[in-house]
Amino acid sequence: MKLLRMTPGKGDVLLAEGDPAVAEDEERLVEEFRRQLDLGMWAAVPHEGPGGSREATMVRDFSEVPLSAERVIFFPQAAGG
């Protein structure tokens, strides 16, 4: 699983990578996940929907991220423009 963050001037950057089934990796992923939410990021998990359509699910806690997820994408919280 990769944790990616969209950033100005760079595009996405890799924050952390690991296998959430491995305790040491999971700890690192959870720590980075929480850090990003504390910084005000939103987190989305891309996945395939019914019929192969592309979908995304917002997650607010690492426990909501499916173990099979390949990526979690962080981006700044939306504000009224």
Partner 1 sequence: MRRRYVRNAGRERRAEQRARDLLRSTAGDEALEVYERFGLLSVENAEYGYLIYPHRPLVAYDAASGELLSEYCVRFRDGSDPEAGERLPDADDVLAKWMALRADEHELIGTANVHPLGRQLDPAMVRRDLTALRQWQK
- Residues 6+ positions from 13 with CB-CB distance below 8 Å: 4, 5, 7
CB 24, min distance to partner 1, A: 27
Give yes or no for residue 42 binding partner 1 (CB under 8 A): yes
Interatomic CA distance for residues 75 and 40, integer angstroms: 9
Give yes or no for residue 22 binding partner 1 (CB under 8 A): no
C-alpha to C-alpha distances, 77 to 21, 28, 37, 42, nearest whole angstrom: 29, 23, 9, 5
Give yes or no for residue 66 binding partner 1 (CB under 8 A): no
Interatomic CA distance for residues 68 and 53, integer angstroms: 17
Among 2, 18, 57, 69, binds partner 1 (CB under 8 A): 57
Give yes or no for residue 7 binding partner 1 (CB under 8 A): yes
Give yes or no for residue 26 binding partner 1 (CB under 8 A): no
Instruction: Return residues touching partner 1 (CB under 8 A).
Output: 4, 6-12, 39, 42, 44, 46, 54-58, 71, 73, 75-81
